[in-house]
Amino acid sequence: MQQRPIAPVTRHVKVAIMEESELVVHGLRAMLEPHSALITVVAHRADGPAPLCDLTLYEPHRRTAGVRPAPQRFPTRMVAFGWDCSPEAVSTEMSRGAAGFVSKWLPARRLVWNLLQVADGRVVVDAWTGQAEVEKAAAEKWPLTQRETEVLSMIAAGKANRDIAEETNLSINSVKSYIRGAYSKIEVTSRSQAVLWAIQHGLLMSHEPEQARPRVSAHAAR
């Protein structure tokens, strides 16, 4: 698996984990301890006041099951953190206002990279499960070319066509051509529909350096 570099940050990021057992909290702390210079995990008890933090991780099914009513306003950026990484699970949480969705299957370095991106204001969906056979099968069915996937990811990250052209060294007409091709293949007609499709199909929506971008097969699995 290709590892992403840890993104440079100018401040320490504090992450609360909501409605989890002590075992999970301590396990996540231990997992992220090697990256403690960048990120700290604090517990957030359901019956206690919300701690001061930059992000709050929550388990999606616990909100939907009614263990704790979903707040109308979140004091911090909320990030879904779950085992169920299906397109339905991802789209449900993103439509409810989550700032990101990250898989509990992720290794520590990749999880830290994603959380730093969310803390920096980006929207991140990383539903990787680590199942090689699933990734292979999904890649074979992936409808987009590598360039179309790249352009769609940048659209989902909020990039304008001219920004995409500059960052990919393509002409504006080429960018529009790739967009038309992608829209046709995924059967959408507007930018907002394309963004929703990207969320539902697990495209990572933070803009990454060229050397850190995953292969098409990785996009397909997420």
Q: Where are the domains of the chain?
A: 13-130, 133-211+217-221
> What pLDDT sits at residue 202?
65
Q: Express as a percent the part of the chain with pLDDT over 70.
A: 69
Q: What is the mean pLDDT of residues 57-75?
A: 56
CA atoms of 210 and 219, how far apart (whole Å): 14
> What pLDDT sits at residue 125?
87
Q: How far is CA 95 from the centre of its chain?
A: 14
Q: Per this entry, what is the length of the chain?
A: 222
> How confident is the model over 88-97, as pLDDT tens digits?
888 888 878 8
Q: CA torsion sign, 201 to 161 to 120 to 7?
A: positive
- What is the band of 196 on the pLDDT scale with cuts at 50, 70, 90? confident
Q: Express as a percent the part of the chain with pLDDT over 90.
A: 18
> How confident is the model over 122-135, as pLDDT tens digits?
888 888 877 655 55
Please provide the average confidence, as pLDDT, over all residues in the chain: 76
Q: Is it the case that residue 206 has pLDDT exceeding 60? A: no
CATH number, domain 13-130:
3.40.50.2300
CA angle 65, 67, 69 (to 5 degrees): 90
CATH number, domain 133-211+217-221:
1.10.10.10
